[in-house]
Structure 1
Amino acid sequence: MPRLILSRAAAAGIDPNRLAREAGMPSWLLADKTARVPSDYYPKLWELLEHTTGDPNSTLRVVGGYRVGELGLFDYLISTADTLGEGLEVVGPYVGSVSSNFRMDPGEQTETESTFNLYMINAEGRGRDLSIQSSLGILVSRIRQMTGRPIDPVRVAFAQRAPARHDAFTEHFGTATLDFGAPVDSMTYRLADFELPHVTADPMLAAVLRRYAAAMPPPPPRATEWPDRVAGVLEQLIDDAEPALDQVARRLFTSSRTLQRRLAESGTSWKLEVERARKRHLEQPAPAGVDRLGAPR
């Protein structure tokens, strides 16, 4: 995935070696075309590309030119499936073949629509926003190419703040409703679209590739670090008055907004974590001679 960015930088007349050095990538890593690139370089490269071009829409312009096959095994695992639905089922189990920094899990399902939630394990700030844009943008481009149809999602939700202008988002995501400041990054498609056949289907090749991919390391588990850290702080504060979100955020050296986003990415919320902490506190045995409310007995 970092090499995709570097190839686009070169096509735009930007020295990819300089961009890689500024991101901290060692020269030997650039020379070895088979090496797995550490995931923290990816968001850094998107930020550097945006800064170098001076174009806040550089990421969406890059993914607009993406072609199926550029991400190797992962692309072919999806594109060789018979239908769009079957191809999307491959994303979750095999995303580790292209990145150890993402998860895509099922979200809300209705009788007519299906939502996929995208989680990024290791990234912050603008680099994270651009990485999410690229992943959701590539998914849309891939679906259009595999089905041979100009399919637009129903909705696309971004945790990032709304940009000053939406033109580039509308151009890429088409008629989809765009939501910014959402608790989780996600994309929603119509269930009817899942029945569409792939013009790239190849059942025999699909079987071979899936056997190969199954031998690769699995994708990382969803991050639990933030709920665990919040639980640790709440354990210290729960005896006091109602713990405040900003108080816990300060102890974890982050902002209230970021903390809420991290909890949402981990499938929980501030309110739920406070309720769990209070329940754990009440279930703890009281010291001898003292009732649960602290009064002698």
Structure 2
Amino acid sequence: MVNNAMQDGGAVSDSVNGTVSPHLTRLLVRAGIATGLDRSCLAGVPGLAVLHEDGIRIPTATILRVWELVAGPVWKAGGSDRIMELWRPGTLGVWDYLFPVSSTLDDAFRVAGRRFTAIADPADRLLVTRHDGGLTVGWQGPYLDCPEYPLIAEFVPYMLLMVASSGAGRRLTPTQVALPRRPSTSPQRLAELYDTRRIEFDAGHPSITFAEADIDAPLPRADPVLVAILDDHAHLSTAAARPVRGWLDRFHAILESAMADGAPGLDHVAQRLAMSPRTLQRRLREEGSSWREELEKLRRRRVDRLLRETSLSVDSIAARVGFTDSRALRRAIGRWYGHGPAAIRASGPT
């Protein structure tokens, strides 16, 4: 057995830490809009204003926020297959093209794993393990505490299946898929998604296993010279990419920090941003948002998480997120959800 945690084989600047390429985020945004996401929900998300540009990397927090926004409409419409049906070779940039030009899928996954930073955060890793009977490709990322993690974990093996099948020139049938949690999706839909009923739950991380005959078969468009060029290009383009960290990123970070001390004040946050309150309000309007909307969104996310994931009383939660008392919090919850906090707590973690 050989287990290789595949990461970028060359030194990459520390400036790319905490960033991802825009390619997958573009695909998620398209899938969200195609399945009914209101475009206005995307206003003010850091990095989306420059999402169409090449040669950039956007904050990892941006793609996680996009996952949060698209999860509902996309999964109601079918899930991972609704995202990947919009994918074509090249949608994920140079990383996509490493598959068809490699000699075998074994080679393809090793080079694609080594250059995974071309589409992902440097903290993400592809684990490529060769064993008797096949090859398992797993994914590890620092997102276990994200509410959307089960959905991301379902998507990654399917994405790997689709890009591998494209490289092979035929639909591959995995011998097994492993998921860290049992999703709300029906077993029948999962079997149709992955084209196998051999799906294991409660695994340490998501993975997909391919048969030995599939991973060793020569790929029809193999080009060793081209794969070396693309390999080098994937590394150089990642190293040369310009991280986009705008003022809005700083605003959100400062707002989060201020929330930890109680109710954040406009004057205090503006001062920490070295701008006047009036300028801060104008800049937020230019982003399609406002101080009240930003504060409301942050409070709602925190309240939702605290109700679902802790046993704190409503009074304690109200104090933590800056409400004057529990009655004000209950009114806000009723406005957000149409029911009280007990119903949210009873539904459990998302």
Q: Where does residue 197 of structure 1 map in the other structure?
A: 218
> Per-residue deviation at 1:105?
1.3
1:10 and 2:33 are equivalent in the alignment: yes
Unpaired stretches in structure 1, ≥5 consecutive residues:
218-253, 256-297
SS in structure 2 of the partner of residue 121 of structure 1:
coil
Q: By how many angstroms is 1:161 displaced?
A: 2.5
Supply the AA of the counterpart residue of 2:155. Answer: S
* Cross-structure match for 2:158: 137
Matched, 1:102 2:124: yes
Contact in 1 for aligned 2:47/2:59 (Cα 8 Å) = no
Find the aligned partners of 1:28 and 1:52 in 2 and give their Cα distance.
Answer: 22
What's the CA shift for 1:39?
A: 1.6
Q: Is the 8 A contact 1:4 1:70 kept in 2?
A: yes
SS at match of 1:37: strand
> Would the alpha carbon gap of residues 115 and 54 (structure 1) be closer, same or farther in structure 2, given more than 3 Å must change?
closer
2-side partners of 1:48 and 1:83: how far apart? 37
Q: 1:34 to 1:19 in 2, by over 3 A?
A: farther
Distance 1:112 1:58, change over 3 A: closer
State the partner residue of 2:232.
Answer: 211
Match in the other structure for 1:163: 184
Deviation at 1:203, TM superposition (A): 3.0
Q: Which runs of 4+ in 1 moved over 6 A?
A: none
Q: Which runs of 5+ in 2 are unaligned?
A: 1-23, 240-308, 311-350
RMSD: 2.7
The separation in 2 between residues aligned to 1:69 and 1:31, in whole angstroms, is 15
TM-score (norm 2): 0.55
Measured against aligned partners, the alpha-carbon deviations of 1:125-179 in whole angstroms (never above 9, x if no partner) come to 3322222222211110111121122211111111122425123321121025111
Closer, same or farther in 2 for the Cα pair 1:150/1:176, shift >3 Å?
Answer: farther
In the alignment, the residues of structure 2 paired with residue 20 and residue 153 of structure 1 have an alpha-carbon distance, to the nearest angstrom, of 35
CA contact (8 A) 2:153 2:180 kept: no
Asked whether 1:25 is paired with 2:46, we answer yes
Alignment pair present for 1:153 and 2:174: yes
In 1, distance between residues paired with 2:233 and 2:54?
Answer: 19
| CA distance in structure 2 between the partners assigned to 1:200 and 1:21 by the alignment | 42
Partner amino acid for 1:212?
A: H
| 1:222-256 Cα distance to aligned partner (Å, 9 max, x none) | xxxxxxxxxxxxxxxxxxxxxxxxxxxxxxxx99x
Q: How does 1:264-275 map to 2 (within 5 A)?
A: none
Alignment match, 1:73: 94
CA distance in 2, matches of 1:13, 1:169: 23
Q: Give % identity.
A: 23
1:6 partner amino acid? V
Q: Cα distance 1:31–1:192, how it changes in 2: closer, same or farther (>3 A)?
A: closer
CA offsets, 1:188-236, max 9 Å, x none?
A: 111221122323433332221122223344xxxxxxxxxxxxxxxxxxx
Once the two structures are overlaid, the 10-residue window that deviates more, 24-33 or 93-102, is 24-33
Q: CA deviation at 1:5?
A: 0.7
Output one character per residue of 1:5-45: Cα deviation in whole Å (capped at 9) or x when no partner: 112233345444x34337x3255333534421212222332
What is the TM-score when the length of structure 1 is the normalising length? 0.64
| Alignment check: 8 A CA contact 1:80 1:206 kept | yes
Distance 2:137 2:27 in 1: 24
**Distance between the aligned counterparts of 2:193 and 2:229, measured in 1?**
33
**Residues 182, 201 of structure 2: 8 Å contact kept:** yes
1:159/1:181 contact within 8 Å kept = yes
